[in-house]
Structure 1
């Protein structure tokens, strides 16, 4: 990622100030149509160039930074003045061909990246982290973690955990990697627990105490929602709402509480909350009764949670996703039986960071997702919701297996990724 702390302001000449507004109006509309190549040929400097750069999608921004030193300075200054806070939605697709699609929330466009040659494993897992999610491949010989969010960098090779796991939770907390649950029952020795926890630090794994009793029946990635911060990894049971946190530096568990502000919610999801403190955002989805179906069949709500005590933040009100968006995540089955449909509980997936994230249909993530942006100040946690359509590469291979992740994506990652296509979402 471009180092924003090294950005320097760009000098502005007197005649540029005089004609800056006029130039901005003339070239502002040409950014999307003509691309970086035509813009590079124009006589742009100073604040005018910065104003143009602010409108350029991230995929083209990586190329524009290589035009000249003047353009590189303009890109850095624009990102410093208006940082692009929201994380990207990254979809790792494993179908006939392995590829990655990344959604840029600033420009509303999907970028498709071909898989690297070294990305050979056909079955991958996810490492949740405060700095962004990474895909990984677990084998008997080791754990290979992608060096960047798009899966293009050479993987970081770690030893395999001491306990063989088939469906574990992996989380990056600071400079440590945590493996929780998902152990293979057949590989366990006498007295070993399937919910065993291991922490990787300084080249080796250390076994820690097992997961709390309330989470042991669901001690696998399939049944748990995970959120990672710089200090802890948080877990909650998707169906019951039981939650706890683990501190790998101290190798100890925190309190275990049942996060259930609404008893009618059938599935839960957890994501990091607003920065500056250990806060979380708890998402819940429920299917409404027939009397409420005129408004929306599925309701998705969000609450802010204090991470230390795992209690709802004092005075915090819940936020509700707009009904038309929850309906798109869980569309009606026109050919199905209405009573059978009512019995099925909606299952949500969540990924995000301290600025925002994405909610999706865990049973059918190819439908699309809903972007949520967290509020900076006081009040309810979610400031806005926005629909994100399915990536074109996923639509082209609906039977492929794909994993949804969330991470900041910088100019360096895009430059290394060599984007194959940039498609504006409709």
Structure 2
């Protein structure tokens, strides 16, 4: 079976040829040769950057149906890296397409959120949000181009909370303002937004109370739970908002020399949920010192290392680009490396949390249970917008990006700018 594509207006050379062939009584084979079908169409779609597909899909309804059908049969696995940058004068959004290896600028929405935006982590993609005393406005799509979803503000006033979308529920964890706490309220308070209201739940576990804020926690959200890990100590736990209960608390520290930790959703599949644990450490002394970034796979239920899984490390040339050594820096002044992780069940991005301009590294998770969790690594250059605004506040997100979001967020084809950087 094949999918035929026809363009209606204006008439192109291909359409004129088809009409001429039909008028001359050409046989079916000659007419079919002017159409794109099945595997041929999918092969074409597989090679076209997503931004160009979004423009192509607007040619006609037939094109739109054909492109969507091809993408459903051969979906693009990897999520995009989205940077929401708040500079001195304006807000800019840039999105990295891992399929084409290009950065795209996104038109600022009319309802641009203020500079105090935060991030909602979710299994189906991260969203920016704006928190105020009166409410919580969550972007309707990963690029922030569609109307926001408005809800009430959490009952406890929070200045640096973790927000996560788990299924159809939104969870607010920690980050409460100490000065605004009422009697009996807790800085590690947890609330679940369900059926239009916030429901108070048990606070964060004792091992996470000293780091109960988004700044100090690494977060991974799945369709069932939100996982939290202390970036400095490796203490971790998970929260199930549907059952409103916490899981076990474990210290994820397979390497005592690691100075900073990060977690992301693990490989998708049947059975228990899995996480990927990232750890960064300095190895060696003096001029030979370098940063090593390792990965481990963790069982989501018990928070134990997955048995039988080969644990590996980011290629040395990539970790050295994320954390280049400053030759003028004294050995005793070397800073501990700090990594950030944004990911999904198919892959994600690791970056230098202190120097976003250094770029990022894409990782792709292996399908299946055998071998290491990470199948490949790929260098991602810094977004041009971040280089142009080195003092701007950047929020990094990770999410699948579809044709609908691209068609809303990209400027007209004649003025579009796509950035590529092989450095």
TM-score scaled by structure 1? 0.88
1:116-195 matches, cutoff 5 A: 116-195=109-188
Contact kept, 8 Å, 2:293 with 2:314, in 1: the verdict is yes
2: CA distance, partners of 1:374 / 1:50: 23
Of residues 98, 101, 105, the one that matches 2:94 is 101
Of residues 198, 202, 206, the one that matches 2:195 is 202
2:291 is aligned to: 298
2: CA distance, partners of 1:306 / 1:113: 37
Confirm or deny that 1:424 pairs with 2:409. no
What is the SS of the residue equivalent to 1:93?
strand
2: CA distance, partners of 1:352 / 1:308: 19
Q: Which entry has the higher C-alpha Rg, 1 or 2?
A: 2
Contact kept, 8 Å, 2:2 with 2:37, in 1: the verdict is no
1:285-364 matches, cutoff 5 A: 285-290=280-285, 294=288, 297-341=290-334, 344-364=335-355
Contact kept, 8 Å, 1:9 with 1:77, in 2: the verdict is no
2: CA distance, partners of 1:370 / 1:231: 27
1:88 is aligned to: 80
Contact kept, 8 Å, 1:16 with 1:45, in 2: the verdict is no
Of residues 31, 36, 46, the one that matches 1:54 is 46
1:380-419 matches, cutoff 5 A: 380-419=372-411
TM-superposed CA distance for 1:9, in Å, is: 4.1
Q: Deviations over 1:244-273 (max 9, x none)?
A: 000111111000000001111110000000
TM-superposed CA distance for 1:337, in Å, is: 1.8
2: CA distance, partners of 1:332 / 1:190: 49
Runs of 4+ in 1 over 6 A off after TM superposition: none
2:277 is aligned to: 282
Instruction: Work out the number of aligned pairs and report it.
Output: 391
2:19 is aligned to: none
Q: Flag structure 2 segments of 5+ consecutive residues without an equivalent.
A: 6-27
Contact kept, 8 Å, 2:4 with 2:35, in 1: the verdict is no
1: CA distance, partners of 2:203 / 2:325: 41
2: CA distance, partners of 1:416 / 1:358: 25
What is the SS of the residue equivalent to 2:361?
strand
What is the SS of the residue equivalent to 1:403?
strand
1: CA distance, partners of 2:275 / 2:41: 39
What is the SS of the residue equivalent to 1:59?
helix
Contact kept, 8 Å, 2:191 with 2:199, in 1: the verdict is yes
1:24 is aligned to: none
Contact kept, 8 Å, 2:129 with 2:138, in 1: the verdict is yes
Confirm or deny that 1:224 pairs with 2:217. yes
2:22 is aligned to: none
CA RMSD of aligned residues (A): 1.8
Contact kept, 8 Å, 1:50 with 1:74, in 2: the verdict is no
TM-superposed CA distance for 1:78, in Å, is: 2.7
TM-superposed CA distance for 1:81, in Å, is: 3.4
2: CA distance, partners of 1:114 / 1:388: 22
What is the SS of the residue equivalent to 1:299?
strand
